Amino acid sequence: MTGKLRQKTTAILLSVFLLTGAVMPGAMALEGRPLVQLRLNGSILVGDTPAYIDSNNRTMVPIRLVGESLGNVVDWNEQARTVRISRGDQVVGLTINSRQATVGGQVVTMDTEPVIVNNRTMVPLRFVMENLGARVIWDGATNTVDIWNQPRVERVVLTSDNVNLRQGAGTSFPRIETLPKNTRLTVVAQSGEWLEVRTESGKGGWVAGWLVQDLLVAAPDPGGVPDGVTTGPEVKRVEVTENVNLRAGPATTFTRLALLPKGTAMTVIGAKGDWLEVRLEDGKQGWVAGWLVTEVVTANPPAVPPVLPEKETPSEHGEPLRLAVVNSSVVNVRSGPDISFPLVTQVRSGQFLPVIGEQGDWYQVQMAEGKTGWIAGWLVSIRTLSTAARGDGHGRDPVNRADPLAGKIIVIDPGHGSIQPGNWSDPGAVGKNGLYERDVVMDISLRLRDILISRGATVILTRVGDTTLTLEGRAAIANDAGADVFVSVHANASTSRLLNGTTTYYYAPVGSPLEGQRADRQLLASLVQMEMVQAMGRRDAGIFEASFSVLRNTTMPSILAETAFISNPEEEALLGDPVFRAQAALGIAEGLAKYFAIKAEH
């Protein structure tokens, strides 16, 4: 979450189109209605028609603004006065001035209705976004709605002893109880620097955000049910932590099939967003809220056996490097080669992990910060990178073959720095100690340029100081040059000082003109992300798809790299360090080299 207008978000708004239709009588004026600020993944969204709270106490938003910013497809039928929002196989249908909607083909009743205001179709935010898999969080203190289409802090642990769990977001609220150090909590909402949490016993309340640290950043609970249909033998057993409704679909709007008492055990057979598709002991199937279950864990998992690879592992003497490519939305990495072993972490679709061992159907993989774990072979595919393509870790081949970067045309886009009306330069995010994102990413980009040129690439910068180019103009530079890849360099920001880590974005939605590049763009994002994390040593916050202008308007594979959080005190200090900036540049360069090496072989 960020308190400044990020230029990449503004660019999304420049592409918003009108939804045609007659203006609803009396809907032209919004005077007297409480207005709402929107933030998408921490960046402010601003449109020509503001979000507001309607008479049914629901936040109404322009569907094009939030729908297409999330990479969804929005279709308007003028004759029927209906709007259809789709994201993959998730589809929501709405009709102007009607409370009847469809979710996945099933008719449901909302508690408000879409309307047309100032020639914009306004829809209930929470209903639409949550049924498309996004998380919506209301901050009543600032009248702000946060839409999260990327992982945020879901599980935290207390770093201090005797922390008060309170009834509201502030020290003025009554204390519910005192929690000891190392208590684990699930975050369900945020207001300012206070977190609304749920204890493992199910008790809810608020704690000060500065007294916790991340435990695991991922949409599911640490029990680890993938966000997408689970395939293969890795099936989870869970039990409900309180009386829970079994529903016909993945939302509270679906019909209730049964009321399950606390402790009911079931088998997870699929997932969508925060909802789990389950099968009961009697064979009945349905959906339950994922935050109301806990995994049934094997009491005494076996000790981790020694690694007995069936194939040779990579070495410094010519052995090929194998990469495990994650195929499912979210996949568990365990401490040993079986589902009975404890969960180490989770990885997301499109990530590439070096394989260092193999046993049966499981691969031992190398992760960030030197950690290792085991991943099920049926949830990944294996790519092999030959010694010639690997180089020596610095982009130089041990047998003197051409550097994979040699001859490539690479456009580097240092984020922000655009001249604004009033003749001031967009600084991007600004750290608490006055560090400007604009200046940080310019320095990283110049270092990256020098590395790439030294390895034989042709490099074009979209700016070397302030620029009058639009975001579309930056993309046009790459298109006109016939670039092989485009890399936009940024630093992330949030109103929460807790958020940290490295993220990379790509954009090539199914059904769009860019769909043919989807595999290449995912590969590019995954490899640069992997190398940045390794080079900088920060938390791997994953790769995501987002409709940023520079990604949407480039005709070649392109990525947007968020190196670290300038709003996080530790990472702001690192971003101010020339050594860390050099590490960021090296990571990006090595990721690009890996990408071109793989492309040369396939």
Q: Residue ranges per domain, the chain?
A: 7-147, 155-216, 237-295, 321-385, 395-601
Q: What distance in Å separates the CA atoms of residue 446 and residue 411, rounded to the nearest whole number?
A: 12
**Mean pLDDT per 10-residue segment, the chain (602 residues):** 38 32 37 74 68 86 74 81 80 91 84 87 86 73 70 66 84 86 77 73 80 50 30 55 78 73 79 72 78 59 38 39 70 83 74 78 72 82 53 34 84 90 84 90 92 88 87 91 95 84 91 90 91 90 88 95 93 91 91 90 70
Reading the block at residue 448, the tokens are: 């990256």
Asked if 321-385 and 395-601 have one fold, the answer is no
Give the pTM.
Answer: 0.43
Residue indicated by tokens 């499109």: 350
Domain topology for 7-147 = Copper Amine Oxidase; Chain A, domain 1 (3.30.457)
Reading the block at residue 310, the tokens are: 């069936």
The strand pairing partners of 368, in sequence order, are none
- Give me the sign of the Cα torsion angle 569, 571, 575, 578: positive
User: Side chain identity at 542, as an amino acid letter?
Assistant: G
pLDDT attached to residue 388: 36
Q: What distance in Å separates the CA atoms of residue 602 and residue 599, rounded to the nearest whole number?
A: 5
Return the closest-CA partner of residue 539 out of 593, 582, 496, 498.
498
Return the closest-CA partner of residue 523 out of 322, 330, 378, 349.
349
* CATH of segment(s) 155-216: 2.30.30.40
Strand, helix or coil for residue 588: helix
Domain topology for 395-601 = Aminopeptidase (3.40.630)
With DSSP H G I counted as helix, E B as strand and the rest as coil, what are the percentages for the chain, rounded to 5? 20, 35, 45
* CATH of segment(s) 321-385: 2.30.30.40
pLDDT attached to residue 281: 75
Reading the block at residue 140, the tokens are: 């009543």
Q: Give me the long-range contacts of 259-267 (CB less than 8 A, separation at least 24).
A: 260/288, 263/239, 264/239, 264/240, 265/237, 265/238, 265/239, 265/296, 266/237, 266/238, 266/239, 266/240, 267/235, 267/236, 267/237, 267/238
8 Å CB contact between 427 and 567: no
Q: Which CATH architecture group holds 237-295?
A: Roll (2.30)
